[in-house]
Structure 1
Amino acid sequence: MKHALLIGLLLTVTHGFCQTETEFDKPYISMGVIVSDLDASLDFYTNIIGMKETGGFTVNDAMGKKTGLTGGVAFDVKVLKLYDDPNATEYKLMSFGNQKSKEETHIQERNGMRYITLFYKSLDAVNQRLKDNNITFLSEEPTHIPDGRRFILVQDPDGVFIELIGN
């Protein structure tokens, strides 16, 4: 019994030393994406790509101004994740009714965040949903990449490039 307690204590202390110290509070990134049509984008990301809507919130006009985000315009945010887990990356959609950006066909056409990459166990189901919804493939459909997995490149309703990688 003494040995079990000693081993447990040793493992706990060792685990504490092995954890990397970081200045970050959360182990994930939360990204905000401005879309022209919130309903169309929400449909694309949930029903076609397969993300889950896990929540949302409203930023009122005073908070929009105070934070410097909008200069005084209120907005609603829909929070999506690949799966409902507190440590999963958040993909936040919001709309201000802006027109769609100029159509682009390749990632090198402007600076800034250009694409996201989603990793699937199998691309079969999402590939079928893309086809069923007449989503244009920018890649050959699907492209085999050197590590043996398959790759699909599409765009969301506002032109954000979406890389889909899986078996």
Structure 2
Amino acid sequence: MLARKCVKITLFIIGCALPSFGQSNFTSKTIGVGVVVADIDRSVDFYVNGIGMVKTGSFTINEDFGKRSGLTNGVATNVTILKLENSPEATDWKLMSFNKNGSHPKPTYIQDDTGMQYITIQVKALQPIIDRLKQMKVNFLGSTPTPLNAKAHFVFVQDPDGNFIELIGPLQ
């Protein structure tokens, strides 16, 4: 009787632990992020020429699919796919525009709104990105770059639509 109870408890513990041993219902380790922007050209310029992302593709959401899927109320849009590098393992940063400004005010700080407020990008060297963003007249927030530790600095900026971008890495 005691042995049977121990077996049941052991099976229960193993059953509870299985999901933490790499069992997953996901087909990818990354999350694709869709970002609605006011001006697609301005945003692509910021992310490609400022941050250093690469354009890896694009696709169209037509009126019918937009309505059937619930993405839009029947409005078509083009989606531009950017990545940190052109590889299947890199996250999709999908930009789309409906050629209008957002209906909420541009946040000054991350606590000003709810929802996705910032992304973090780990970089090999911050200085080239800092130089490009300064050339584009992008405002740096706070006292950035600011040291995090002996090997890494932190830079905080906003994209043209107010989404916060934190960049972390060594200066050189």
TM-score by length of 1: 0.86
Once residues 75 and 163 of structure 2 are traced to their aligned partners in structure 1, the CA distance between those partners, rounded to angstroms, is 24
Listed as ranges, the matches of 1:77-116 within 5 Å are: 77-100=79-102, 101-116=104-119
Q: Which of 22, 25, 28 is the equivalent residue of 2:24?
A: 22
1:78 is paired with a residue whose SS is strand
Once residues 81 and 126 of structure 2 are traced to their aligned partners in structure 1, the CA distance between those partners, rounded to angstroms, is 23
Deviations 1:64-121 (A, max 9, x none): 0000010111110000000001111010000011214412210000100001111101
Partner of residue 6, structure 2: none
2:107 is paired with a residue whose SS is coil
Once residues 143 and 79 of structure 2 are traced to their aligned partners in structure 1, the CA distance between those partners, rounded to angstroms, is 34
Partner of residue 147, structure 2: 144
Shift of 1:21: 2.3
Provide the alpha-carbon RMSD of the alignment.
1.3
Shift of 1:151: 0.5
Partner of residue 65, structure 1: 67
Once residues 135 and 77 of structure 2 are traced to their aligned partners in structure 1, the CA distance between those partners, rounded to angstroms, is 32
Which of structure 1's runs of 4+ aligned residues deviate more than 4 A? none
Once residues 141 and 102 of structure 1 are traced to their aligned partners in structure 2, the CA distance between those partners, rounded to angstroms, is 23
Of all paired residues, the percent bearing the same amino acid is 47
TM-score by length of 2: 0.83
Once residues 92 and 108 of structure 2 are traced to their aligned partners in structure 1, the CA distance between those partners, rounded to angstroms, is 26
Deviations 1:121-167 (A, max 9, x none): 11010011111111100031310014631000000000000001010
Deviations 1:31-63 (A, max 9, x none): 000000000000000000000000010011000
| Total equivalences in the alignment | 149
Contact 1:58 1:77 in 2 (8 A): yes
1:135 is paired with a residue whose SS is coil
Contact 1:139 1:154 in 2 (8 A): no
Once residues 32 and 147 of structure 1 are traced to their aligned partners in structure 2, the CA distance between those partners, rounded to angstroms, is 34
Once residues 150 and 162 of structure 2 are traced to their aligned partners in structure 1, the CA distance between those partners, rounded to angstroms, is 27
Gaps of 5+ in 2: 1-20
Gaps of 5+ in 1: 1-18
Q: Which of 150, 160, 165 is the equivalent residue of 2:163?
A: 160
Partner of residue 43, structure 2: 41
Identify if the C-alpha distance between structure 1 residues 165 and 26 changes in structure 2 by more than 3 Å, giving closer, same or farther: same
Larger Rg: 2
1:40 maps to amino acid: R
2:66 is paired with a residue whose SS is helix
